[in-house]
Structure 1
Amino acid sequence: MPVIKVCSYNIRRAIGIDGKKDLKNIHQVLVEINPDVIALQEVEMVPGVVGISRQAHSLAGLLNMNYVYAPVHRLKFGSVGNAVLSRYPILQDIKHLLPDSRDERVCLQVDINVSGVGLSVFNVHLCLNQVSRYRHLKYLLLPIIQESVFPVILAGDFNATPSMREIRMLNTYLHDSFQHNSGLYGNTYPADAPRVRIDYIYTDDKTRCFDFAIFKSRASDHLPICASITIPNSLG
């Protein structure tokens, strides 16, 4: 069965613990992790501007990967959103709206072809409202995930700790890759003194995680996470 490394990383627009914006630091972290698929949150995109303001485009070019970007929050001259980078061909992408009266979010679904094997990657950055997070997961995303013709990976910044209701609910449907943690670290935020785990990589019953790690870095206020996952040998 194919094996892929999946990374999830909230890069906070490439603003490090020192308060300075430097996309080279994010790039270096990703080079060291060397994932096949990357789910990024808080990615800055300003059309027509090169360098740090087209972060998904720049990182994909530096890493020689395909990418899809989905805006979440509009800025005066651009947006901040989610991006999925992939070494494999992208079949399609779908933006799922996660409505909230004060803090609307987007889940980016990207279907990829892993050497003839289909895989759906869902990249989320859930809102700060716990009631909305539960509803988004239970009533919007889980039905889509359960109907997927491809194996599924759900990754991102959930803004929720493992003891919270929405995570406990999600654990009854999907598998938290953290149970295979082989590293020294258990929390993901804040990066300089991690106190909570709010970043996750989930697999469904068709996929299997066999290794997981949290990586130390000061390139953002979150720590990057990575899971090694096997997927079945059929496209659909």
Structure 2
Amino acid sequence: MRLLELIGCAMLCLAVACGKAGNSPDETGMPSPPEPRTVLKPGDTIKVMTYNIHHANPPSRPGEIDVEAIAAVINRENPDIVALQEVDVRTRRSGPSLDQARTLATRTGMQVFFSKSIDYQGGEYGNAILSKLPIVQRIRHELPSAPGASVEGRSLALIAVGTDDGGFVYIGSTHLDVSDTETRNMQVDKLREVNQHLSAPFVIGGDFNAQIGSETINRFVAGEMFRTACLGSCPNTIPATSPNRAIDFIFLNQEASSVFTVLSYATVNETYASDHRPVVTELKYR
């Protein structure tokens, strides 16, 4: 009789253990966390953010570096992909041991790709992309400048994530020149050239240093190659404390517009961490 009781107890324990598999509630009554996504599938919704982080220097604290503040903004919004601009990697001003791109990846639990725009103060400065989805391609494109123009080098960070049908969706992060219109126009021409070679959905976020209706943006969207993800007028993004103009955007190319539905588009009411407000959009795949 004792033996039968032991066998019954063992079978009961096995049944309980099996009942906890998958997304069933654990002993706290909470469901298990979902498995991380490895590819985009029809019906998936992703949140994309673009954020000029001002090398993690809060404008109210000249000379101070607060990477934790940037990470906190990202974590509060919980995006799937983040296009970052003005990122320092081991520069003297931010700290020769501080890689802001990798530090933000660690603090947010995301993968990262950094694209150097210039060498700066013993380190590098440029754009980065954070992604919860596995990054399957990492590409850097150098952007041109007008002959004779005294401007800072710029680049495009480009990644690809996989889709359930074996294809790719490309995500870009860029920062166009601030002072020279001819250079900006050449840079958007380069972005359009990159897009033509991709022949795939392409979502790009960045600081375009130009407003909707400007020569630069009109040139970028010509022929409906790109459109903003804005629903109505695009919200102002700079200065963060009291924004009076929009220069930070998320754009979709024609292929992206055909596979994504824009569910929302807004700025984040964040005034401390950077001189720009982040922009976020929610996109539903197919």
TM norm structure 2: 0.74
In 2, are the aligned partners of 1:46 and 1:78 still within 8 Å (CA)? yes
Q: Which amino acid aligns with 2:250?
A: I
Please report how far the alpha carbon of residue 177 of structure 1 lies from its aligned counterpart in structure 2 after TM superposition.
1.1
Aligned residues: CA RMSD:
2.1
Distance 1:53 1:188 in 2: 27
Report the structure number with the largest CA radius of gyration. 2
Please report how far the alpha carbon of residue 120 of structure 1 lies from its aligned counterpart in structure 2 after TM superposition.
0.6
Aligned to 1:191: 240
Q: How does 1:1-236 map to 2 (within 5 A)?
A: 1=42, 2-19=44-61, 20-46=64-90, 53-100=98-145, 101-102=149-150, 103-114=152-163, 118-128=168-178, 129-138=180-189, 140-171=190-221, 172-179=224-231, 186-207=235-256, 208=260, 209-217=262-270, 218-232=272-286
Distance 1:180 1:120 in 2: 24
In 2, are the aligned partners of 1:161 and 1:196 still within 8 Å (CA)? yes
Please report how far the alpha carbon of residue 167 of structure 1 lies from its aligned counterpart in structure 2 after TM superposition.
0.8
Distance 1:57 1:104 in 2: 22
Q: Which amino acid aligns with 1:216?
A: N
Please report how far the alpha carbon of residue 230 of structure 1 lies from its aligned counterpart in structure 2 after TM superposition.
2.8
5+ long unaligned stretches in structure 2: 1-41
Structure with the bigger percentage of strand: 1
3-state SS, counterpart of residue 27 of structure 1: helix
3-state SS, counterpart of residue 128 of structure 2: strand
Please report how far the alpha carbon of residue 124 of structure 1 lies from its aligned counterpart in structure 2 after TM superposition.
0.7
Calculate percent identity across the aligned residue pairs.
28
3-state SS, counterpart of residue 13 of structure 1: helix
Please report how far the alpha carbon of residue 136 of structure 1 lies from its aligned counterpart in structure 2 after TM superposition.
1.5
**1:73-96 CA deviation, whole Å, 9 max, x = no partner?**
222221111000111111111111
Please report how far the alpha carbon of residue 51 of structure 1 lies from its aligned counterpart in structure 2 after TM superposition.
9.6
Q: Which moved more, 1:8-17 or 1:97-106?
A: 97-106
Please report how far the alpha carbon of residue 41 of structure 1 lies from its aligned counterpart in structure 2 after TM superposition.
0.3
Q: Which amino acid aligns with 2:184?
A: R
Q: Which moved more, 1:3-12 or 1:166-175?
A: 166-175
Distance 1:114 1:66 in 2: 17
Q: How many residues are matched?
A: 227
Distance 2:251 2:207 in 1: 12
3-state SS, counterpart of residue 31 of structure 1: helix
Moved over 3 A (4+): 49-52, 114-117
**1:133-170 CA deviation, whole Å, 9 max, x = no partner?**
112212x1112213314311011000111121111232
In 2, are the aligned partners of 1:174 and 1:204 still within 8 Å (CA)? yes
Distance 1:52 1:29 in 2: 23
Distance 1:124 1:53 in 2: 22
Distance 1:24 1:147 in 2: 37
In 2, are the aligned partners of 1:22 and 1:52 still within 8 Å (CA)? no
3-state SS, counterpart of residue 71 of structure 1: strand
Q: Which amino acid aligns with 1:16?
A: P
Please report how far the alpha carbon of residue 186 of structure 1 lies from its aligned counterpart in structure 2 after TM superposition.
2.0
